Amino acid sequence: MKKVFHSAEQAIDGLIFDGMKIAAGGFGLCGIPEESIAALKMSGIKNLIIASNNAGVDDFGIGLLLQSKQVKKMISSYVGENSEFMRQYLSGELELEFNPQGTLAERMRAGGAGIPGFYTKTGVGTVIAKGKEHKDFNGQTYILEESFVADLSIVKAWKGDEEGNLIYRKTARNFNPVAATCGKKCIAEVEELVPIGSIDPDHIHTPGIFVNRIFVGKHEKRIENMTLSE
């Protein structure tokens, strides 16, 4: 299987459709698949359901798709840096499913592992638990969370080889590995593409069997918030 593509536009070709579910890696603005997101915007695809730790900022990351109103629903943990997200949600233009951060990560991991659901204590007694099955184990109450399986996963890695084996760097290792596994198809953008065999197998975070397409991107490495002393 030919996995290497020359651009994000080529990588998404033939894999996208209106109303699809997308799992996007990254944490804040760290390790987000920014070129894949930009290509999705240019494609004009609409009514997207996106599971991501965050919703980007107004003019970057998933914020670009919100700006052009291509997102129907966000499944997220933190959305506090995006005023357009807030405007759309408060006006009823955008659906939102809040997930505790660990729950969202486990929903993706479980989806990739073929596990349909799991019980967790997180959210018991809060609005998160509304309408969900409750069950007691050893005197403690848990709620049932369903796994998340996406039509497409988009992730960003520091280094990858032509088979799609990936290495993430530092904080980018947070949501990218679980997002990569839960998609029926996975596109990875990397800072550096290396020959097959040049990555020590013990250093691989996402095995190439999960990755369908890979390309080299040019990434901005923006800082979400900067605080400077006087």
* Cβ–Cβ < 8 Å for 9, 213: no
Q: Is residue 72 part of a domain?
A: yes
Strand partners, 179: none
- Sole residue written with tokens 């670009």: 64
Domain of residue 57, residue span:
8-115+149-216
Q: What is the pLDDT of residue 59?
A: 85
Token look-up 């698949």 returns 33
Question: Token pair of 133, please?
Answer: 């099955």
Share of the chain above pLDDT 70, in %: 100
Instruction: Say whether pLDDT at 6 is over 90.
Output: yes
Residue 156's DSSP bridge partners are 189
CATH code for the domain of 189: 3.40.1080.10
Q: How confident is the model at residue 132 (pLDDT cuts 50, 70, 90)?
A: very high
Residue 120 counted as domain residue: no
- The Cα–Cα gap between 64 and 67 comes to 5
Place of tokens 């965050």: 54
Identify which of 174, 158, 173 has the alpha carbon closest to the alpha carbon of residue 221: 158
Q: What is the rounded average pLDDT for all residues in the chain?
A: 94
Report the alpha-carbon distance of residue 221 to residue 81 in Å, rounded.
17
DSSP E strands, the chain: 21-24, 48-51, 71-76, 95-98, 117-120, 134-137, 140-146, 152-161, 166-167, 186-194, 213-216
**71 within some domain:** yes
pLDDT in tens, 46-60: 999 999 998 888 889
| ∠ Cα 210 33 181 (to 5°) | 20
Q: How confident is the model at residue 228 (pLDDT cuts 50, 70, 90)?
A: confident
Is 56 a domain residue? yes
Per-residue pLDDT at 1 exceeds 90: no
Query: Helix H segments across the chain?
Result: 8-12, 34-43, 63-67, 83-90, 101-113, 176-181
42: phi then psi, degrees, rounded to nearest 5? -65, -25
Q: What is the mean pLDDT of residues 3-23?
A: 97
Q: Are strands 140-146 and 134-137 parallel, antiparallel or unpaired?
A: antiparallel
The pLDDT tens digits for 151-192 are: 999 999 999 999 999 999 999 999 999 999 999 999 999 999
Q: How far apart are CA 59 and CA 122, in angstroms?
A: 32
Q: How many domains does the chain have?
A: 1
What is residue 78's predicted lDDT score, i.e. its pLDDT?
Answer: 87
User: In which order are the strands placed within the sheet that holds 140-146?
Assistant: 117-120, 140-146, 134-137
User: Is residue 138 in a domain?
Assistant: no
Give domain status of residue 230, yes or no.
no
